[in-house]
C-alpha cells in the first residue's frame, strides 16, 4: 500500500508560476507543467479571452504560496495528464497545505471536475463554501469586477437615480436621465452575466451564486431594469417639457428685454430731443440777449447829436400891400323869385359865399 501511494506521488522544485492554477515544477531535473486538480481560477493567459475578474490576484497568490525554488509534493489521481499534456495533481507546499483548496478558500478559484479525477474535489468544495460564507474573492460585494459587486452597484445606482429629487429644471432632469441611463447600463451588464450559460470554461463569475440563487437574482434584477426604464422614459419626457418651457420663458425674457430696450431708447431719444430743443432755445435767447446788449452798447457809443436849431422864417420881401377886393354889387332883379335871399358874394375859388 505504501509503495502504491509512493508511486502515485512525486516531489519537485517550483520553476515558475504560469497563472492561478498552473505551475511549472522541476521533477528529477525535468520541467513539467502541473495543472492543479479540481480547481479553476479566472483566466489570464488565453489570448482569445480577456483577463477575467481576480485572475491576476489568483496568479499572485499562487506565486506567494509557491515561490520559485520552493519544494512541492505532488499527488496524482486516476489520470495524470489532460488533453493539453499537462500533469494533473494535487499540489502541497512546504507547509503541507493543499494549494488547490487554499486558492478556493480565498475565493480565487471554483471547484471543477475533470473526470474521472475527483480526489481533491471535496476539500476544494469545502474551502469554496468557506469563501462564499465569508464573502471573499469572487463572492465579495466590494471588489468592483465581481458579480455580487456589479449587482450591488447596479442596484444602488438605480435606487439613487430613481430616488432623486423631482426635477424643477431641464438641467436637473438631464442629470437624472444620465444617472438612470448609466445605472441601467450597469444593471443590464450584470443581467447579461446572470443570464449567460454557466460554463466554467468560459467564465467563473457565476461562481458567486448557486443556480437557483442566480435565477432569483436575475428575476429581481430584470424587474428593477423594467422599472428603471419606465422611470427613464418619464424623466426624459419631463426633461423635454421643462426644456420647452424654459425655451419659451427665455424667448419671452428676450422679447421683454427688447421691448424695454426699445422703450428706453425712445425715452432717451425724446429726452435728447427735448434737451436739444431747450439748448437751441437757450442758445437763441442768449444770442438775442447778446445782440440786444451789442445794440445797446453801439447806441451808447454813438457820437452826440448836434443841437437842434430853431426855425426862423425868412424876412418878408418888400411887396406892395394888397388891395382888398371889393366885389361889385349884385343886380337886384325887378321881381325876385320866391325864396330869394339876395345876392351872394363868393370867396375866391367859388366854394364859399356870404350874402352881399
Q: Classify the C-alpha dihedral 117-120-125-128 as positive or negative.
A: negative
Does residue 31 contact residue 24 with C-beta atoms inside 8 Å? Answer: yes
User: Does the annotation count 35 as an active-site position?
Assistant: yes
Residue 148 has, within 13 A of its CA and on its CB side, a CA count of: 16
User: Does the annotation count 224 as an active-site position?
Assistant: no
Which of 73, 86, 118, 198 does the annotation list as catalytic? 86
**Angle subtended by helix axes 170-195 and 211-300, to nearest 10:** 160
Which of 43, 52, 57, 102 does the annotation list as catalytic? 43
Task: Write the DSSP assignment of 228-261 as a string of letters.
Answer: HHHHHHHHHHHHHHHHHHHHHHHHHHHHHHHHHH
Distance, CA of 168 to CA of 177 (rounded, Å)? 13
Does residue 138 contact residue 205 with C-beta atoms inside 8 Å? Answer: yes
> Beta-carbon neighbour count of residue 279 at 10 Å?
10
Q: Where are the alpha helices (DSSP H) in 301-339?
A: none
All cell numbers assigned to 277: 430743443
Q: How far is CA 270 from CA 261, 265, 275, 281, in A?
A: 14, 8, 8, 16
Give 249's contacts (C-beta < 8 A, 6+ positions apart): none
The residues assigned a catalytic role are 35, 43, 86
Amino acid at each position: 500500500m505504501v509503495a502504491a501511494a509512493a508511486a502515485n506521488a512525486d516531489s519537485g522544485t517550483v520553476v515558475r508560476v504560469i497563472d492561478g492554477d498552473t505551475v511549472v515544477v522541476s521533477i528529477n531535473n525535468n520541467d513539467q507543467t502541473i495543472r492543479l486538480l479540481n480547481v479553476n481560477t479566472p483566466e489570464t493567459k488565453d489570448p482569445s479571452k480577456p483577463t477575467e475578474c481576480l485572475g491576476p490576484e489568483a496568479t499572485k497568490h499562487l506565486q506567494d504560496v509557491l515561490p520559485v525554488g520552493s519544494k512541492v509534493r505532488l499527488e496524482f489521481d486516476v489520470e495524470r495528464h489532460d488533453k493539453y499534456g499537462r500533469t494533473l495533481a494535487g499540489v502541497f507546499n512546504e507547509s503541507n497545505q493543499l494549494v488547490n483548496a487554499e486558492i478556493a478558500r480565498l475565493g480565487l478559484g471554483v471547484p471543477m471536475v475533470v473526470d474521472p479525477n475527483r480526489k481533491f474535489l471535496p476539500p476544494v468544495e469545502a474551502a469554496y463554501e468557506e469563501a462564499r460564507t465569508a464573502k471573499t474573492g469572487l463572492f465579495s460585494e466590494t471588489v468592483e469586477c465581481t458579480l455580487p459587486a456589479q449587482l450591488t452597484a447596479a442596484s444602488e445606482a438605480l435606487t439613487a437615480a430613481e430616488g432623486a429629487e423631482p426635477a424643477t429644471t431641464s438641467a436637473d432632469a438631464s442629470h437624472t436621465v444620465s444617472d438612470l441611463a448609466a445605472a441601467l447600463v450597469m444593471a443590464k451588464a450584470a443581467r447579461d452575466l446572470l443570464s449567460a450559460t454557466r460554463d466554467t470554461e468560459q467564465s467563473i463569475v457565476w461562481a458567486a451564486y448557486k443556480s437557483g440563487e442566480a435565477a432569483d437574482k436575475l428575476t429581481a434584477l430584470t424587474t428593477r431594469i423594467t422599472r428603471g426604464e419606465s422611470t427613464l422614459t418619464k424623466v426624459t419626457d419631463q426633461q423635454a417639457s421643462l426644456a420647452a418651457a424654459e425655451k419659451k420663458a427665455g424667448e419671452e425674457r428676450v422679447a421683454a428685454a427688447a421691448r424695454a430696450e426699445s422703450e428706453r431708447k425712445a425715452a432717451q431719444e425724446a429726452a435728447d430731443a427735448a434737451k436739444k430743443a431747450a439748448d437751441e432755445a437757450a442758445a437763441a435767447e442768449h444770442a438775442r440777449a447778446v445782440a440786444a446788449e451789442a445794440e445797446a452798447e453801439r447806441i451808447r457809443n454813438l457820437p452826440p447829436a448836434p443841437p437842434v436849431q430853431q426855425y426862423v422864417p425868412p424876412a418878408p420881401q418888400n411887396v406892395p400891400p394888397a388891395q382888398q377886393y371889393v366885389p361889385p354889387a349884385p343886380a337886384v332883379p325887378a321881381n325876385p323869385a320866391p325864396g330869394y335871399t339876395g345876392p351872394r358874394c363868393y370867396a375866391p375859388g367859388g366854394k364859399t359865399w356870404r350874402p352881399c
